[in-house]
A and B are shown apart, each in its own frame.
Chain A
Amino acid sequence: MNQILNSSFRDPSGFLFFKNNVLYRQVNKIYKEDYDYLLSSGLYKSLVDSKLLVSHDEVDISIAKKENAYKVIKPELVPFISYPYEWCFSQLKDAALLTLQIQKKALDYGMSLKDASAYNIQFVNGKPIFIDTLSFERYKENTPWVAYRQFCQFFYAPLMLMTYKDIRLSQIMKIYIDGIPVDLASSILPKRTLLNFSCLSNIHLHSKTQKHYENKTIKTSSCKMSKFKLLALVDNLETSIKKLKYTPVGTEWAEYYEITNYSDKALIHKKEIVTKFIEDIKPDKVWDLGANRGEFSRISANKGIFTISADIDPASVEKNYLECLKKKERNILPLVLDLTNPSPALGWHNKERLTFFERGPVNTVLALALIHHLAISNNLPLNTIAEFFSQICTNLIIEFVPKVDSQVQKILSTRKDIFPDYTLACFENEFSNYFDIIEAKKVDESERVLYHLLKKE
């Protein structure tokens, strides 16, 4: 692999590229003064020491991709690149607060963030971290924050929509690559948000002012703002965002473990089987798809294995993330993912943001209590499901949930059973086209069967 990353073209300060499968960032000559100031001012060290910014090493400039290189740096790697529309409420909120914290610190050192994209934040060791080393510029006295609009679009507007309208509205970020336009947020938000000073000003009046100045030009010199006012603006945004609360209740899946039909013995036995399979495989990474609140993701995560814990339900993912924070878990990354309509390729040439599965493959996938939702709720034929899993992983730990199971009966209670092939025999037959069955174990006090499958050569 020897290529420039397609997501790295917007900023002329530099770009990311792979060489011999190692990720580098070229710093262009145009960014020389700011880069030198970032390091000489002590801001870089302060941010890295505080674990707010990824660290990097300067490497030999001879590996630069283009002639205008000033430096080449090798940044600390992130285990999995996730996108803001895959984050739950508190993940987006924490990413917003991190951006503001970095902006305050940058101002302390005489610099400012020149962009405030949510794509500049990733989750490493259970916490958000800033990954774009080239986002800092020397602060010019009396200038407003150039990234203010972007901050509102990427963080403030989605958080307000999720808080005051519907938690699912973060998904609008899949449509708008540069964040949710404030006029759209203003039109969706309920009238009562007009009574909230911060929302009134940062969304509703912001939208009106944008409209007013559309197609108009003004003198740049007219836009003056002292550093104190800039800090006040950041404080205003920070105070407002800190107050936002979301209580993850009411969805079917968030209460799944409370309403499930498992006996205690079945649950314990299921955990023992999954633990054994994980110990047999010894994977470096695990994706738990349909993870709910991540109870089974923790089997691998607690063994020090980096585990993505993905679920369709934002309330379940929120609970999962809050538990990660509470227990200071470092190896688990909860994400919102609809497996029947996963994150698509987005942006210019459909290459700026990758699909969820382009960010794989992964050694091991957990698909527990999932297949009946794919096969029956979503009408997917078993052979299609088997083919899909064979394309994303080598080892598959999958649970077959038969028709007699009460969860399947519940799904079938409101629809006609058009699934004569949904049987254990058909399941094994279809999956055997792509996988070898290494082990199959029936869960005690249940009709469910857990399989460890290995992809065929």
Chain B
Amino acid sequence: MKSFLQVKFIVIITGTLIILFPQKACAYLDPGTGSFVIQIIIATLAGITFSIKIFWSNIKLFFLSLFSKKEISEIDNGDIVNDSGPDNNESDTE
């Protein structure tokens, strides 16, 4: 049932976006045009679950921070909240 709803949802969104995107235009993308469109749809849907994932990881982080500093650092090395960007000099060597 869950899978059927997922399919239905995606089909509706695909249809909507196909209508929204004009099919004649001044610029031409290579045969990756369809790939551009589908990744926007997937990214939009995945964005919902990604937001939930980040939300829960932050909640988990908050509660763990109340109990143990060590566990926080373990979570900090996880996928979602790991941000070894320019301001973070920690290397994430395997």
Contacts and interface: CB of A to CB of B under 8 A. Distances in A.
Interface in A190-214: 194-195, 197, 200-202, 205-206, 208-214
Contact of B41 (A195, A201, A217, A235): A201
Nearest to A207: B34
Contact of A213 (B34, B42, B45): B34
A436 to B, nearest CB: 46
Contact of A212 (B34, B42, B83): B34
Contacts of A209: 14, 34-35, 37-38, 41
A250 B5 CA distance: 37
Contacts of B66: none
Contacts of A354: none
B77 interface: no
| Size range of the chain A interface in the assembly | 35 or more
A232 B33 CA distance: 20
B32 A217 contact: no
Interface in B32-75: 32-47, 49-51, 53
Best-surrounded residue of B23, B26, B32, B44 (most CB of chain A within 10 A): B32
B47 A229 contact: yes
Contacts of B51: 232
B39 A200 contact: no
B31 A218 contact: no
Nearest to B53: A235
B32 A146 contact: yes
A47 B26 CA distance: 39
A233 B29 contact: no
Given A229-B47, A232-B43, A233-B43, A218 B33 contact: yes
A326 interface: no
B38 A50 contact: no
A217 B27 contact: yes
Contacts of B92: 50
A225 interface: yes
Given A50-B93, A108-B86, A218 B32 contact: no
A238 B82 CA distance: 14
Contacts of B83: 108
A455 interface: no
A195 B43 contact: no
A152 interface: yes
A221 B29 CA distance: 11
Contact of A144 (B3, B40, B53, B93): B40
B18 interface: yes
Contacts of A42: 86
Interface string A135-156: 0000000001110110010000
Contact of B7 (A108, A194, A211, A212): A194
Best-surrounded residue of A146, A195, A222, A231 (most CB of chain B within 10 A): A222
A277 to B, nearest CB: 35
Contact of A201 (B3, B32, B45, B79): B45
Nearest to B40: A225
A105 B39 contact: no
A236 B51 CA distance: 12
Given A109-B86, A206-B34, A230 B43 contact: yes
Contacts of A206: 34-35, 38
Contacts of B25: 217-219, 222
B18 to A, nearest CB: 6
A109 B85 CA distance: 6
A224 B49 CA distance: 20
Contacts of B16: none
Given A233-B39, A235-B50, A108 B85 contact: yes
Contact of B22 (A50, A219, A228): A219
Contact of A217 (B7, B10, B28, B79): B28
A22 B45 CA distance: 48
Given A46-B91, A213-B34, A223 B14 contact: no
A229 B44 CA distance: 6
Nearest to B3: A195
Contacts of A148: 32, 35-36, 39
A280 B29 CA distance: 60
Given A108-B83, A195-B3, A149 B35 contact: yes
A223 B40 contact: yes
Contacts of B84: 46, 105, 108
Given A210-B34, A230-B43, A127 B86 contact: no
A37 to B, nearest CB: 12
22 contacts: A41-B86, A42-B86, A144-B36, A195-B3, A197-B3, A202-B38, A202-B42, A206-B35, A217-B27, A219-B27, A221-B27, A222-B25, A224-B40, A228-B47, A229-B40, A229-B44, A232-B43, A232-B49, A233-B39, A233-B42, A235-B79, A236-B46
